[in-house]
A = this chain, B = another copy of it.
Amino acid sequence: MSQPKFEPSPEVLSGETADIYFAHTVEILRREGLNPVATMEVFPSRSGILCGMEEVKALLSKVLPEGNREVWALAEGERMESKEVILRITAPYQSYGLYETAIDGIIAHCSGWATAARECVEAAQGIPVISFGARHVHPLVAGLMDYAAIVGGCAGCSSVIGARLAGREPSGTMPHALILIMGDTVRATQAFDRHMPPHVPRISLVDTFKDEAEESVRVAQALGERLNSVRLDTPAERGRVTPELVKEVRARLDLAGFKHVKIFVSGGINPERIRTFIDSGAPVDGFGVGSYISGAPPIDCTADLHEIEGKPVAKRGRTPGITPNPRLKRIL
């Protein structure tokens, strides 16, 4: 995965996305003439895969005074433990106080997605997992969600913007809409084959009009060697994709001489169902995961001041002073 480029948005920089009380605080301190060098530490509420740190670094490198700052952090994609310090900022408080909301939010949301992705990837034991959930989150964060899924270990994603952030090609087959408009799965697959550039793999969605096993053999017969995969996406109304269906489609494709055609499974996939497919020996070649990743709850983060002008402090419930964590590396 290549290094993404994050650019803080004007609304974040202006403090518009912040909780109002941080604006108040900076204003009050300014009027009181207080701008102590303060150390803030951030920790997550549960363990998971850290994501969002690159974006946070881009923000901090813009707002912290260059000569008077020190930032330590875990790296993008690293495992983080519950309550472990993952970010420590030391700088004049007025330079960064306004951004506590954004820093917490970026890491919380992205780490939530990355962590859910990792669960799927671990369940899949090497079989590729593709993030398909762009349709379940607001488009403003669809790309970040897909980027986080790839940080978490997904082999690809369906959104163009997410793939670009992660330096990958977007993945995808065809929607039911294309098949409904073309009126037949075979005809839609042939049109796809006709017009798409050669590097786009021919993957046919085979549950629109006919039984999946029947349709799989039909599209294989129509495209022959050029067919890369079939995608099974059986709706809940038809009982979802089952391990037995995958086995049968495999058997019928093999029997008809199409051993090269891969089988891709989607529709309500989550780690538990992935394990069911794996445990029952269903020959799946790829999983498409939607809302399990895109709807993952953020991993809430907390930021606390632990030192002010070199003096240990803490609110009730926290321990005053720097919390040691040898895993942190200096990033600014």
Which residues of A does B touch, CB under 8 Å? 9, 11-12, 15-25, 27-29, 31-32, 34, 36, 38, 40, 52, 93, 97, 100-102, 104-106, 108-110, 112, 132, 134-144, 158-161, 163-164, 170-182, 191-192, 194-196, 200, 207-211, 213-214, 234-240, 242, 244-245, 247-248, 251-252, 255, 290-291, 294-295, 297-298, 300-301, 304-305, 308, 312-321
Contacts and interface: CB of A to CB of B under 8 A. Distances in A.
A208 B320 CA distance: 12
A313 to B, nearest CB: 5
Given A100-B175, A291-B300, A211 B20 contact: no
B316 A20 contact: no
Contact of A305 (B141, B180, B308): B180
Contact of A235 (B106, B141, B317): B317
A268 to B, nearest CB: 10
A299 to B, nearest CB: 9
A255 B321 CA distance: 9
9 contacts: A19-B170, A22-B177, A24-B196, A25-B178, A105-B136, A176-B304, A211-B214, A235-B318, A248-B318
Contact of A178 (B29, B136, B176, B318): B29
B308 A172 contact: no
Contacts of A23: 160
Contact of A295 (B134, B144, B298): B298
Given A175-B21, A200-B24, A191 B32 contact: yes
Which secondary structure dominates where chain A touches chain B? helix
Nearest to A107: B138
- Counting chain B CB atoms within 10 Å of each CB, which of A34, A106, A164, A248 scores highest? A248
A180 B315 contact: yes
Contacts of A28: 178, 191-192, 194-196
A158 B196 CA distance: 48
Nearest to A169: B20
Contacts of A251: 319-321
For the complex of A and B, list the 4 residue pairs with the smallest distance between their C-beta atoms, beginning with the closest: A239-B239, A235-B317, A237-B244, A21-B172
Contacts of A238: 211, 238-239, 242, 244-245, 316-317
Given A9-B140, A294-B298, A38 B315 contact: no
B105 A134 contact: yes
B300 A295 contact: yes
Contact of A93 (B29, B140, B177, B210): B177
